[in-house]
Amino acid sequence: MQHHHDEQRLQALEKANRILQKRLQRAEANLTDLEETNDRKEALLKKVIANLQESERTVEEKNCELQQNAQDLECTIAELKRTQAHLIQSERMSSLGQLVAGIAHEINNPVSFIYGNLSHTRAYMNDLMQIVRSYQQRCPVPDAALAEELEAIDLDFLMVDLPQMLSSMEVGAERIQEIILSLRTFSRLGEAGVKRVDLHEGLNSTLMLLESRLRGTSRFPAIRVSQDYGQLPLVECYAGLLNQVFINILSNAIDALEATTSKSNPNWTPTITIRSEVFAHSSATS
């Protein structure tokens, strides 16, 4: 009886052991599946992370490329603006040069006509005055009517003043011709290309145009200009732009002297010194 009972217990234990073994096998299989699943998930996660890192690098590269393109675009826009400003300035300078040259030409025509006839006028005047003198020598005592007319026109004064008046007209015409020459030199503003020019011509034409500001007034004394020119070769440059530089520098110097003169010794003579010389195969103006 006892033996039969032990066999039953042994069979129950064996059955329970088999059940446990099967459960253990299923647990091991589940664990293996879980590990494989985790491995797949970990691999997938690594792949996703790698893809994200690659995408981040790609985005950074694109950002750098976009920033470089933006900088290049800004440089291009700035260059276009400078080019546009240069073209506008060149067009303005060209128009101004053409205008100045046109004015100089229009003034030159009538002045040349006047100046060209002044020599003939002087010759005719001398002939007429000589005839008058000869008549006075031959008829020293005119009749009453002629004497009255001579007194009315003040012949003696006329004989003295007329040559002086003609000389003044000649000086004025020469002065206008000098101004016209300065305008023509200054009208190189219309010359856009680089040319070989004489810097002293540009300086002299600029001084001629500024002469009204150099003369003294009731408030400021006259400004003396000392021109210490050296032997300069012809210089390749933009003549019009250089003339504009000259006129700006000299105008600023005149403004500074006027401001200083109002506070200085009234006996002091304001002076602008222009000196030019050659340094190491290049010309220099100060």
Which of 68, 86, 104 is the endpoint of a domain?
86
Structure tokens at 78: 């700035």
Same structural domain, 231 and 172: no
Which of 190, 216, 249 is the endpoint of a domain?
190
Whole-number pLDDT of residue 97: 64
Whole-number pLDDT of residue 283: 47
Q: Cα(89)–Cα(86) distance, rounded to whole angstroms?
A: 5
Taking the mean position of all CA atoms in its chain, how far away is CA 71? 25
**How many helices (H) and strands (E) are present in the chain, helices listed first?**
6, 5
pTM, to two decimals: 0.47
Same structural domain, 52 and 115: no
Same structural domain, 129 and 45: no
Same structural domain, 281 and 199: yes
Q: Cα(239)–Cα(188) distance, rounded to whole angstroms?
A: 6
The residues pairing with 279 across neighbouring beta strands, listed in sequence order, are 282
Same structural domain, 29 and 72: yes
How many domains are there within the chain? Answer: 3
Q: Cα(271)–Cα(225) distance, rounded to whole angstroms?
A: 6
pLDDT tens, residue by residue, 221-244: 888 899 999 888 888 887 777 887
The C-alpha angle 88, 90, 92, rounded to 5 degrees, equals 70
Q: Cα(66)–Cα(68) distance, rounded to whole angstroms?
A: 5
Residues 6+ apart with CB under 8 A from 224: 269, 270, 271, 272
Same structural domain, 98 and 69: no
Q: Which residues of the chain have pLDDT under 50?
A: 189-190, 282-284
Whether residue 207 contacts residue 152, with contact meaning beta carbons closer than 8 Å, is answered with no
Whole-number pLDDT of residue 91: 67
Q: Cα(259)–Cα(179) distance, rounded to whole angstroms?
A: 28
Same structural domain, 145 and 202: no
Residue 175: name the closest of 261, 107, 224, 225 by CA: 107
Which of 166, 190, 214 is the endpoint of a domain?
190
Question: What's at 75, amino acid-wise?
Answer: C
Structure tokens at 207: 């001084």
Q: What is the CATH number of the domain that holds 273?
A: 3.30.565.10
Domain that holds residue 22: 1-86
Residues 6+ apart with CB under 8 A from 193: 238
Same structural domain, 128 and 201: no
Same structural domain, 218 and 282: yes
Same structural domain, 68 and 107: no
Q: Cα(241)–Cα(189) distance, rounded to whole angstroms?
A: 6
The residues pairing with 236 across neighbouring beta strands, listed in sequence order, are 196
Same structural domain, 4 and 36: yes
Same structural domain, 131 and 186: yes
CA pseudo-torsion sign 155, 158, 160, 166: negative
